[in-house]
Amino acid sequence: MFRNKLLNIMIIILLGISLIGVIALVTVDKFYADESTDEPTIDEIIKYSVDFDEMTTNLQSGGYVRLKMKVQTDSKKATEELLKRDFQVQNIVIHQIASKTASDFEGGKGLTQLEEEIQQKINEVMQDGEIVKVYTTSFLLQN
């Protein structure tokens, strides 16, 4: 009889420790979970992006650049606004490229800088949302 009581007490203690362990595991998992779900999925990126027709414009140093872009926004409203502002986007791109020389595009850094400049300039005219990223989908530099 004494053994049965002792065995029951040991089982209760083991169940209690197991329960505490499960609660601790769930709590730690919840508080330290990876919060990478803030990044948009590829479907969301495509949904909130606008493709622009190919543009060709002269460089300051002579020659020309021909490029196509995809511009990612942060919302449906921003995408709709960007579609309406296509003429302003083209104007911004032309002005940004016209102030460049061919040497500004040597290496990938020049193109990345151009994308960032275009993003900043478009954001200056946007009212309903903002531009998240500018992607160059086609690029041709002719000296």
pLDDT at 34 over 90: no
Higher per-residue confidence, 51 vs 40: 51
Whose CA is closest to 92, among 115, 129, 121, 124?
Answer: 121
Helix %, strand %, coil % for the chain, to 5? 60, 20, 20
| Stated length of the chain | 143
DSSP strands (E only) in the chain: 49-58, 64-73, 131-142
For 89-131, how does the pLDDT look when each residue is reduced to its tens digit (9 = 90+)?
999 999 999 999 999 988 878 899 999 999 999 999 999 999 9
Q: Which residues pair with 71 in a beta bridge?
A: 50, 134
Q: How confident is the model at residue 37 (pLDDT cuts 50, 70, 90)?
A: low
- Tokens for 126, please give them: 């946007």
Predicted TM-score (pTM) of the model is: 0.72
